[in-house]
Structure 1
Amino acid sequence: MSTTADASAPSAVAPPSEAPRSDARALFAVCAATLLVLMNYTAPVAVLPQTARSLGAGLTTQTWLINAITLGLAATLLVAGSLGDDFGRRRIFRSGLALLAVSTVGAAVAPDAATFVAARVVQGAASAAILAAGLGLLGHAFHTAQGRAHATARWASMLGAGIAIGPLASALLTAVGSWRWLYLVVAALAALLAAFGGRLLAESRAARAARIDVPGVLTLGAGLALLLVAVTAGRTGWLRPAVLIPAVLGVLLLAAFVAIEARGRAPMLDLALFRRPDFRLATLGAFFTGLAALGPSTVLPTLVQSLVGVSALGAAGLAFLWAGASFLVSNQMRHLGTRHTPTRQLTVGFALTAIGYLAMLGYADAHSWARTVPGLLISGAGSGLLNAALARLAVASVPADRVAMGSGANNTARYVGSALGVAASITVASSLLPAGHHGGFSAHGADAVLLLGTLTAVLGAVAALARRRVPAPVPAA
């Protein structure tokens, strides 16, 4: 196994008394950028109706207004992690911040839905560089189990904080001005972090020749895009050519991606990592987290606005409850993380997610947003456990010179699951309409979304429990 041997690593150049300060600076820079990424990621959630009206977007296009950034993330996270390991994690991290600033200005001034969607896809690619390289930088900076548990829990708490702040800030700025204002704020902050945040970080890279896996990038990106197109188009029927053709082509391209990675000399995903039980658990757990926790929760504010009649600010407040609970629990795991195995955290996290969804059933029929509050707090706490466990597993389940690749694989699985979860949730919510009604959402559809989330959360818990039955590998002498 090769290890990182970069002379610029803080552990190699800093005296012991300075190492904790250097680690703290790295943690601050990475957490600030992660918070910004998630604020931008969730910006449209509470103001989707207003954004759609401004851009002239129909119901199907609204799915893309939310999912475009997720597509960019899912398609480029693996390559961003691989590039970070090979060309320098700080370099990729700062490049991602610069690209986020530029693309976010594009979203702010977009004249139509197509331009906005294109800008959000580029934002996703920028966010992928920040997330994959950022978590890789933390994996390089913190070496002990306790240090990594502390750092990754802090990082995971920023996911919840960003999800909490993004919709609320977007709704507030929309109320006093325009939904476009938040993107200008994000662009300015990203530019500042790109300019000055790099000074807080030490460069690190793997000790191997750097190559770009172009065939892998193309087949993975195109395959995921076609699958997402198929799931989104399924809203009006699953057996139509518009659904079946992209679905089949997407599966074929993803199979080609696996074949390319298996034979490539410098793959962006080392398939040998899947021989590690913890890596398999991290990847599968991340996929179910996106599918079960992120997908339905992302759509919920729009459903509450449409079916219960709350304002954009009220919907943002509900999202804040869910994400606030996630933030508090993830942050607390920096003290408790090493006392509980990631497997146990994942199992409990999925169980709480399922319980929270069941507690919200019937809110639309009752026309009561208050019915969602207990369930939001419970499922949000479950999301916090999932985020903390997955961040810890992402860096601990791979060799030291593959930490950004591990982060890329983990977050790819998470956002592929999220993209599919959002598309499936909107499809389900808009397909179960009463006779004679066309367009929009229904109360039955809202309950079906919660039941779908419950089922996928239970499957995630089962997958985590199955890992507990696998004996841990015996360390080599």
Structure 2
Amino acid sequence: MTAPDAAPRGCLAVTAGGTLVAMTAFTAPLSIVPAVSSDLGAGPVGTAWILSSTSLGLAVALLSAGAIGDVVGRRRVFVAGAVLTAVGAALSGIAATTAVFVAGRVVQGLGAAALIACALALISAAFAPGPPRTRATAVWGAAMGAGPSVGPLLGALSEAEGSWRWSYLVLAVLSAGIAVAGQRWLTESRGDTGRRIDVVGALLLGTGLGCLLAALTEGRQGWTQPLVAVLAAAAVVALVATGVHLARSAEPLFPPSLFRRPALVGATLAAFVTGGAIIGLMSFIGTVLERGLAHTAVAASAILLAWSLMSVLASLAARRLPAGMSGGARLALALAVAAAGFVPLALLTPASGLWALLPGLAVSGAGTGLANATLGREAVAAVPPERAATGSGINNSARYVGAAFGVTLATVLAIRPDSPDPVASLVSGWNVATWGGAAVCLLGAVAVPLLHRADDRRIPRVAAPAL
């Protein structure tokens, strides 16, 4: 590994800032979908893509961006990601059609993938294992938790002040600033294996995940459409081909043998559960607040600050947990706390006020923050140091593929065009989805520590000398 010369604090400030900008870009349209759709003349399909296009870019590029960063340099990929995010935000901000807006959002997703995947690897290179890295990943987790509330609030305030487009121009400026700061204050680090970039593997994986996310997005308008079947079949073919290629390639995008470690499987499962149950539901709750409970976009965004603030505080407080507490136990605690927070959120009625959501948002936010801080550490601890960005990419890919499944399921359960009472149907469907999210979190809280215990038992056997 190349040792960094830059001050670790500068590295942490830039990488956490980049992650905050990436998450803000990811969630920016959640509070302004009606305004954007109306301004651009988007129909139901276009509206679905307005919401999902950044998820597509993230899912397609997260793992590949991490693997490429390990080879060509994490700072280089991080800075390129910031530039892409700036370009995509500017494109969305000046878009005159839905297609251009969606294209800009996809580009933002590609850039955000590079920012998120390489941020953790840069942190792992700048901070020594143990308490220093634990504190640094806690700050990174706080940035990850803050973005989902900053984005909707930025969008809502921009719309209230004149135009939703200002939020994207602000994002473009912030992303450009991250690019400049990254080039100036980050020191390059990379894996020392001298391997080549697996272009075929990256293309196959990107195609498979892209088709999967596209099928989920199109499926919200009806699962019997021919296009949905074609996209789903293409996803299966591409992902199977990816597996075959990775197993046979001499220099794969990532070696499948990484998943022989139960700790990596556990961290990946926890990330998928966090995405599907937590990010998926929090991405949809704005729709429930506005269309089901009749609150304004600004009010809905403001109440979500309770979730975000608790997420930030819990991420920072995670470093105070006992040093001997394993990653599996921390993730189990995080998921159990999030599940407890979902209980009051699953009891809404069309007459529920904003204050009724505060307890559930605060508790689930605390679970989210602890999960973010712990996943950041576990993502790089479960892979060899030269694969740090790859580990981060695997973890975050699972998170955002899970989020795509989660928001799709919530949409299917809550939005029923043929319902005689769409408002009551929306709220009752949300309640069902939230109970489901709580159940998934509890299952994850049981499974993840079991996998980590299996990893603990495996390591002495692997390390023992042959007799």
Is the 1:73–1:128 Cα contact (8 Å) retained in structure 2? yes
Alignment partner of 1:329 is 2:320 = no
Runs of at least 5 residues in structure 1 that lack an aligned partner in the other structure: 15-20
Alignment partner of 1:399 is 2:370 = no
Is the 1:101–1:187 Cα contact (8 Å) retained in structure 2? yes
Residue 466 of structure 1 aligns with which residue?
450
Is the 2:216–2:404 Cα contact (8 Å) retained in structure 1? no
Q: 1:210: Cα distance to partner?
A: 4.3
Q: 1:466: Cα distance to partner?
A: 2.6
* CA deviation map 1:379-402 (0-9, x unaligned): 111111111111010111111111
Letter in 1 for 2:282: S
Residue 277 of structure 2 aligns with which residue?
292
Q: How does 1:414-425 map to 2 (within 5 A)?
A: 414-425=399-410
The CA distance in 2 between the partners of 1:405 and 1:175, in whole Å, is: 41
More moved, 79-88 vs 365-374? 365-374
| Number of equivalences | 461
Match of 1:126 among 107, 111, 131: 111
The CA distance in 2 between the partners of 1:223 and 1:320, in whole Å, is: 35
Residue 271 of structure 1 aligns with which residue?
256
Alignment partner of 1:257 is 2:242 = yes
Q: 1:244: Cα distance to partner?
A: 3.0
Letter in 2 for 1:144: P
Q: How does 1:310-325 map to 2 (within 5 A)?
A: 310-325=295-310
The CA distance in 2 between the partners of 1:405 and 1:310, in whole Å, is: 41
Q: 1:77: Cα distance to partner?
A: 0.9
Partner SS, residue 42 of structure 1:
helix
Partner SS, residue 351 of structure 1:
helix
* CA deviation map 1:279-307 (0-9, x unaligned): 11111111111001100111101211001
Distance 1:132 1:242, change over 3 A: same
Match of 2:102 among 92, 107, 117: 117
Alignment partner of 1:27 is 2:36 = no
Residue 353 of structure 1 aligns with which residue?
338
Is the 1:149–1:337 Cα contact (8 Å) retained in structure 2? no
Distance 1:458 1:320, change over 3 A: same
Q: 1:356: Cα distance to partner?
A: 1.7
Residue 290 of structure 2 aligns with which residue?
305
Q: 1:43: Cα distance to partner?
A: 0.7
Is the 1:150–1:335 Cα contact (8 Å) retained in structure 2? no
Residue 368 of structure 2 aligns with which residue?
383
Is the 1:432–1:442 Cα contact (8 Å) retained in structure 2? no
Letter in 1 for 2:244: A
Residue 148 of structure 1 aligns with which residue?
133
The CA distance in 1 between the partners of 2:397 and 2:260, in whole Å, is: 18
Alignment partner of 1:39 is 2:31 = no
Match of 2:325 among 340, 351, 362: 340
The CA distance in 1 between the partners of 2:157 and 2:225, in whole Å, is: 41
Residue 152 of structure 2 aligns with which residue?
167
The CA distance in 2 between the partners of 1:360 and 1:173, in whole Å, is: 28
The CA distance in 1 between the partners of 2:411 and 2:351, in whole Å, is: 21
Distance 1:357 1:331, change over 3 A: same
TM-score (norm 2): 0.93
Q: 1:361: Cα distance to partner?
A: 2.2
Runs of at least 5 residues in structure 2 that lack an aligned partner in the other structure: none
Match of 2:434 among 434, 445, 450: 450
Residue 65 of structure 1 aligns with which residue?
50
Q: 1:350: Cα distance to partner?
A: 1.4
Partner SS, residue 267 of structure 1:
coil
The CA distance in 1 between the partners of 2:375 and 2:197, in whole Å, is: 27
Residue 86 of structure 2 aligns with which residue?
101
Distance 1:277 1:364, change over 3 A: same
The CA distance in 1 between the partners of 2:230 and 2:183, in whole Å, is: 45
Q: How does 1:420-435 map to 2 (within 5 A)?
A: 420-431=405-416, 434-435=419-420
Q: 1:252: Cα distance to partner?
A: 2.0
Q: 1:215: Cα distance to partner?
A: 1.9
Is the 2:85–2:175 Cα contact (8 Å) retained in structure 1? yes
Q: 1:237: Cα distance to partner?
A: 4.2
Q: How does 1:198-277 map to 2 (within 5 A)?
A: 198-277=183-262
TM-score (norm 1): 0.92
Is the 2:266–2:449 Cα contact (8 Å) retained in structure 1? no
Residue 17 of structure 1 aligns with which residue?
none
Is the 1:88–1:203 Cα contact (8 Å) retained in structure 2? yes
The CA distance in 1 between the partners of 2:100 and 2:424, in whole Å, is: 24
More moved, 371-380 vs 193-202? 193-202
The CA distance in 1 between the partners of 2:442 and 2:308, in whole Å, is: 21
